[in-house]
Amino acid sequence: MHIALNCVSYMNESINEHLHLLTKLALKGDEETAELLINILLSLEALQIRAIAYLLVYQIIMNTYIDLTEECKKCGGVCCKFGEPIELYSFDVEDLKSIVMEFDNYVIKNCGKVYLPRPCPFQNEWACSVHNVKPYACLSYPFAVENLQKDVISSYTYSHPPRPFIPHFCLAGQKVWNIIDSTIKDYKFLHGKEPLPQDLLKYTSKKLKVHI
C-alpha cells in the first residue's frame, strides 16, 4: 500500500496525527519544521526511529533540492499509475479541495476514509497536475513509504545512514540515493564521522543549493 511513513508502531498514537501534519510540512521543504521533526524523533532515542529520521531526510532532499523531471519523465510516472488506492489524510483533502473543483468525483470513499484511485486522476501523462497540493503519501515516495522501507527500518542495527530500498523502476529515487551516498562519503572525509540526520540535511542542502 502506498502510504506515508507511519510512526504509530513506535510512538504514542495520540500525537500521531499531529506528527503526520508536521511531517507533510517538512516533506514540502519547510526547513524549520524539518529541524523540529528530526529533533523530536531523535529525542526518542530508539534505533528504528533514527532510521526513520534518516529516511525522512532523504525524502526531503529529493523533494526540495534535486530536479528529477527527466527521470520521472523517462519512468513514465509508474508510482502514480500502479498500486493500491492512496489514503488521504484530512489535511490532504483540504489541500486538494483548495484547487480541485468537484473533488468528490475523483476520490473513493470507504468506511469513513478517502482514497485516490490509481491510476491517479490527477496524473497528466507522467506529471502531477496538482503538484503544489499533492498528498502526504505522494510526497513520501519512495524513501518515506512505510511498506517499502519496513525491512530497512526493522533491520537497522547501528547509527549510520541506512541504505534505502528503491524500486527498480524509480529512476528518480536511484539518482537521489547516488547523490546522497556521495554526500555522506564527502561528509565523512571532511569530518571523520558519519553525519547525523540533521547534519546530512544541512550539509546536503548547503551543497545542493549552490547548484540550483
Site string for ligand SF4, 173-202 (x = CB under 6 A): x-----------------------------
Taking the least distance from each CB to ligand SF4, the nearer of 65 and 187 is 65
* Cβ atoms 20, 27 nearer than 8 A: no
C-alpha span between 207 and 205 (Å, rounded): 5
* Cβ atoms 55, 5 nearer than 8 A: yes
* Burial (Cβ within 10 Å: 0-12, 13-18, ≥19) of residue 150: middle
CA 126 to chain CA mean position, Å: 19
**Rounded least distance, CB 211 to ligand SF4, Å:** 20
- What are 135's three cell numbers? 498528498
C-alpha span between 56 and 118 (Å, rounded): 24
Q: Does 136 interact with ligand SF4 (rule: CB under 6 A)?
A: no
With CB under 6 A as the contact rule, the residue among 41, 49, 130, 148 that binds ligand SF4 is 130
**Rounded least distance, CB 192 to ligand SF4, Å:** 34
With CB under 6 A as the contact rule, the residue among 46, 66, 78, 196 that binds ligand SF4 is 78
**Rounded least distance, CB 181 to ligand SF4, Å:** 17
With CB under 6 A as the contact rule, the residue among 59, 123, 204, 205 that binds ligand SF4 is 123
* Cβ atoms 4, 140 nearer than 8 A: yes
* Other beta carbons within 10 Å of 33: 18
With CB under 6 A as the contact rule, the residue among 19, 107, 171, 184 that binds ligand SF4 is 171
With CB under 6 A as the contact rule, the residue among 30, 35, 71, 186 that binds ligand SF4 is 71
The CA-based angle 87-148-179, given to 5 degrees, is 115
**DSSP character for 116?**
E
With CB under 6 A as the contact rule, the residue among 5, 120, 144, 201 that binds ligand SF4 is 120
CA distance between the termini of the chain? 33
Q: Does 145 interact with ligand SF4 (rule: CB under 6 A)?
A: no
Taking the least distance from each CB to ligand SF4, the nearer of 17 and 70 is 70
Q: Does 60 interact with ligand SF4 (rule: CB under 6 A)?
A: no
Residue type at position 20: H
Catalog residues that contact ligand SF4 under the rule CB under 6 A. 71-72, 75, 77-80, 86, 116, 120, 122-123, 128, 130, 134-135, 138, 141, 169-173
